[in-house]
């Protein structure tokens, strides 16, 4: 049983909103460029593949892609883009589900803060172990996730805004004891009303992720501030980290 929020059909139908910058070529192309290079001609596994925002264009780049996805409605949207034979997907949670080809993937990846969907440390540790089980010797596991913005919290405050526009207000609330957080989204509807969508997640620090990787038999290869491979610094708001399995099995 996973602690992750389960995206419903309404959320799945809205996920590929063309007005959302994350769905534009400017956001997708750099991700696909890096992942295709890291796969180096081998097959890739996307954990929490969703509607195929990254997996489909990566497959079109010539990288064989398999997915794991918890939400059947998200897979239904993906299937409008590509069939099962071209891009197979197993419905299940990313911490425990096994995909066909396990042990032979050159690359496993988890993008756009999705590691936080697993809301306990144990599940996040299990996710790293699951990724490692799927990788061939020398295979890589890539995670894109934000750096927790706790320095933005004044004393006594538990909320940090990340988007304030006429169309959308978004802010995160943090429990600094449990590392559990909620993204609160208020989106304006065409009739002028607002739709509220909360998203629960567990924030995680880069050093904590490195330890999770080591527990799964992975070693940090490099860490960048973004997909453009800019340097990760104390001021970085996110990171793209790459861990690698040993080149020789066992």
**Tens digit of each residue's pLDDT (9 = 90 or more) over 181-234:** 999 999 998 999 999 999 999 999 999 999 999 999 999 999 999 999 999 999
Helix (H, G, I), strand (E, B) or coil at 44: strand
- The tokens of 99 are what? 């995909």
In a domain, 52, yes or no: yes
C-alpha torsion sign, points 201, 207, 211, 214: positive
For the chain, how many structural domains are there in total? 2
C-alpha torsion sign, points 140, 81, 87, 125: positive
In a domain, 160, yes or no: yes
Q: Domain check: are 14 and 138 in the same one?
A: yes
Q: Domain check: are 62 and 136 in the same one?
A: yes
User: Which residues, 6+ apart, have CB-to-CB distance to 194 below 8 Å?
Assistant: 186, 187, 188
Say what the pTM is: 0.93
Q: Domain check: are 105 and 227 in the same one?
A: yes
Q: Domain check: are 109 and 178 in the same one?
A: no
Q: Domain check: are 160 and 240 in the same one?
A: no
- Domain of 179? 151-199
* % of the chain beyond a pLDDT of 90: 83
């Amino acid at each position: 049983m996973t602690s992750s929020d389960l995206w419903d059909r309404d959320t799945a139908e809205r996920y590929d909103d063309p007005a959302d910058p994350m769905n534009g070529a400017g956001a997708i192309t750099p991700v696909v460029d890096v992942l295709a290079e890291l796969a180096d001609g081998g097959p890739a596994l996307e954990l929490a593949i969703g509607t195929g925002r990254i997996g489909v264009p990566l497959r079109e780049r010539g990288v064989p892609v398999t997915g794991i996805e918890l939400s059947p409605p998200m897979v239904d949207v993906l299937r409008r883009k590509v069939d099962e034979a071209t891009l197979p997907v197993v419905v299940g949670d990313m911490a425990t589900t096994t995909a066909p080809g396990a042990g032979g993937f050159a690359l496993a990846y988890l993008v756009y803060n999705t590691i936080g969907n697993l809301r306990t440390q144990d599940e996040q540790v299990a996710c790293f172990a699951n990724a490692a089980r799927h990788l061939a010797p020398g295979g890589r596991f890539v995670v894109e996730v934000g750096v927790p913005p706790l320095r933005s919290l004044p004393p006594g405050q538990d909320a940090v805004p990340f988007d304030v526009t006429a169309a959308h207000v978004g802010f995160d609330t943090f429990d600094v004891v449990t590392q559990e957080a909620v993204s609160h989204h208020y989106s304006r509807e065409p009739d002028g009303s607002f739709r509220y969508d909360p998203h629960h997640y567990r924030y995680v620090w880069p050093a904590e992720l490195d330890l999770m990787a080591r527990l799964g038999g992975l070693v940090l290869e490099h860490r960048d501030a973004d997909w453009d491979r800019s340097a990760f610094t104390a001021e970085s708001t996110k990171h793209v980290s790459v861990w690698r399995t040993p080149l020789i099995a066992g």
